[in-house]
Structure 1
Amino acid sequence: SAHFDSWDGGTGATDNGTGTITMLEAARILKKVYPNPKRTILVGHWGSEEQGLNGSSSFVEDHPEIVAGVQALFNQDNGTGRVVRLSGQGFLHAYDYLGRWLEAVPETYKNEIETTFPGSPGRGGSDYASFVAAGAPAFSLSSLSWDYWNYTWHTNLDTYDKIVFDDVRNNAILTAILTYMACEDPEKTSREKAVLGINPRSGKKGEWPTP
């Protein structure tokens, strides 16, 4: 999934045109090589992400039956760079299935990815957090780079010429493979949540986000 809206300073090329392109291309690949998936594949293009994840949170609220059946959600919303980080989002057994799926990805498409398991649940930032709060295994394909935060992010410089299409191609192939593996996996992904530690700032036990 990816969000379809953008700030109006530029044209939203890297926030989040690149995420939208990635998901469209992944869908094109899958439609061509995997026309009969074992699980239903949905591509979410959310609106009003910039105003507070409104599109994805409304979808979660309106379609609990779909959220209950989610095998995995992969969200891309971090600029034009290659995916470099993948967190388990606090799901205790995320490594078991994400690890299996990543094994199927050729090294050239994953050699820069650092993983964190089980990680901690996302509390905002992008649309995957709406699904995490509802207990669904949703993951950010994070490709943050210095030029995104310090140059194009929410500025009038976020234009088409900033897109690195080799990176978008890499991310689309990665997304397509992970989606294929999630569909083919005979096991349902576990939603068991890790027990969160003590918040060092508040001194209180960590709590999972809620919708």
Structure 2
Amino acid sequence: MKKLLPVIALFCISLGLSAQDEKVDLEMVKKIRQEGLNNSKVMDIAFNLTDVSGPRLQGSPGFMRAANYAKGKLTEWGLTDAKLEPWGEFGKGWELEKSYLAMTAPYYRPLIAYPKTWTAGTKGKLKEAEIFLIDETDTTALENYKGKLKDKIILLYKSDKITPSFKADASRYTDEELEKMANDAPQTRSQPDTAFRSMMAAMRRSTLLSTKTKEMAKKEGALALLSMSNRGKDGTLFVSGGGSYKASDPENLLDIMLAAEDYLSLCRLAKAGIPVKMEIDVKTKFYTQDLQGYNVVAEIKGTDPALKDEVVMLGAHLDSWQSSTGATDNAAGSSVMLEAVRILKTLNIQPRRTIRIGLWSAEEQGLHGSRNYVKNHFTDPTTKKSNAEGDKVAAYFNIDNGTGKVRGIYLQGNEACRPIFTKWFEPFHDLGAKTVTIRNTGGTDHLAFVGVGIPGFQFIQDEIEYSTRTHHTNMDSYDHLQGDDLKQVATIVASFVYNAAMRDEKLPRKK
């Protein structure tokens, strides 16, 4: 260990010198702060992406409303080449046009419910049907129910108990948590523990049972299948996909997510032998005329003759799920990125490198928009690494962790960027942003860029209510956005993008 101390000391000194050498135009940062914090349009942008556009499920009219709004604004602000760029075939669009579900016996009771995406409706009229309870834990026992499911609403028995929450839905990172992140060593892949393996196995069995039940119910002519999220309570539904969107696949059986309190009540009644009846009227629409997926793309052209062909990118996914208007996931990120480029254009910056914004589609189905953009533009088909065009990308910055303010940035293992970002955060310490962590974070569009070797980064954000209340739920509405936080995020993103566009060198890549 003693032999390593001089090496470690030399490394730390070199990082410190690199941070000191990093140039930051503090006068421009001051202007960005003034525009971003005092003249922000981020909440007006968010209003148009949520309340005005509606749910933005991939391929739906709501997504296209939002995409065309974004394209129009980018053109209005003076960006060039604003367009809806096709990236390849996605599949069918889907929209919910009507939804009504209520218990009518043993008494009338409205239910908190939402159909899953890409599932069929009830073919245009109100129907009354009986609940049919399936009380099994494995697929082989389903044979006992054959021939009994026609015109029924299928309910898989659950005996779950709802437990109260003793933690707040919303939280911010503490200084201690942020310090721990800043001091983390590079992550290594670890083996899942026994409890995790057991949980995953139970989830697979439950999913298989539900899938087999749905297949049998559809074949026999059942009206619908009812579902319950393992995470939701207090009327919050974690609801997403329920059918295939591929063009060649048939319509799936209507699958309706119920609030846990309603679902468990139905289970107790049916288990006790009390007849339960329901009224159901659901109308859905599939869109098959245009199966392409589209990203929204626009640029602020670079001005340096030697660097203008290099690109700094910023982006977020524009699509959402269907049960609300996708405010924290991810109108927040899209609004911030739109606001960031608005700030830069308002200040009439003359970036050395080209700045390009991308608002991605079909992120919720597997990062399709960003992955295909990277594949179409930046990937060598032989090596699967960045091609000549990809080598010109200086950096990609992403926002997709809800409405919380920026507290720092994930390096994705790219230690060489630590002193650079540390310097860039200095003007924002008073806004609570300074943590630089070696950690990786996943699940969103920066991974498409990182995958081919392009420096891609996601910012650390306070979670607020993200995992507990809004992410993929019926509560993900405009009202859960924090305006002051989003102003801060847009301001910091605009500064980072500007700094990356003005550096003498591109950001270093991982070795």
Which stretch shifts more, 78-87 or 22-31?
78-87
Alignment gaps of 5+ in structure 2? 1-314, 379-387
Shift of residue 107, structure 1, vs aligned partner: 2.4
TM-score, normalized by length of structure 2?
0.36
How many pairs were matched up? 188
Question: Which amino acid is the alignment partner of residue 153 of structure 1?
Answer: H
Sequence identity of aligned pairs in percent?
40
SS across alignment from 2:436: strand
Once residues 173 and 8 of structure 1 are traced to their aligned partners in structure 2, the CA distance between those partners, rounded to angstroms, is 30
Match of 2:397 in 1: 74
Distance 1:86 1:106, change over 3 A: closer
Q: CA RMSD in A?
A: 1.6
Question: Which amino acid is the alignment partner of residue 411 of structure 2?
Answer: G
Q: Is the CA contact (8 Å cut-off) linking 1:3 and 1:49 kept in structure 2? A: yes
SS across alignment from 2:333: helix
SS across alignment from 1:168: helix
Shift of residue 35, structure 1, vs aligned partner: 3.0
Matched, 1:114 2:432: no
Shift of residue 17, structure 1, vs aligned partner: 0.4
Once residues 146 and 171 of structure 1 are traced to their aligned partners in structure 2, the CA distance between those partners, rounded to angstroms, is 14
Shift of residue 98, structure 1, vs aligned partner: 1.8
Greater percentage in strand = 2
Once residues 159 and 146 of structure 1 are traced to their aligned partners in structure 2, the CA distance between those partners, rounded to angstroms, is 14
Q: Is the CA contact (8 Å cut-off) linking 1:56 and 1:130 kept in structure 2? A: yes
> Which one of 338, 349, 353 corresponds to residue 39 of structure 1?
353
> Which one of 479, 484, 490 corresponds to residue 172 of structure 1?
490
Q: Is the CA contact (8 Å cut-off) linking 1:91 and 1:191 kept in structure 2? A: yes
Residues 67-118 of structure 1 deviation map (CA, whole Å, 9 limit, x = unaligned): 3211111100011110124111111311132223223x33233x2442213x
Query: Which structure is higher in RCO with an 8 Å CA cutoff and minimum separation 6?
Result: 1
Q: Is the CA contact (8 Å cut-off) linking 2:390 and 2:454 kept in structure 1? A: yes
Alignment gaps of 5+ in structure 1? 194-211
Match of 1:48 in 2: 362
1:148-159 superposed matches below 5 A: 148-159=466-477
Matched, 1:99 2:417: no
Moved over 4 A (4+): none
Match of 1:129 in 2: 447
TM-score, normalized by length of structure 1?
0.83
Match of 1:160 in 2: 478
> Which one of 314, 326, 331 corresponds to residue 12 of structure 1?
326
Distance 1:137 1:129, change over 3 A: same
Q: Is the CA contact (8 Å cut-off) linking 1:67 and 1:131 kept in structure 2? A: no
Distance 1:37 1:141, change over 3 A: same
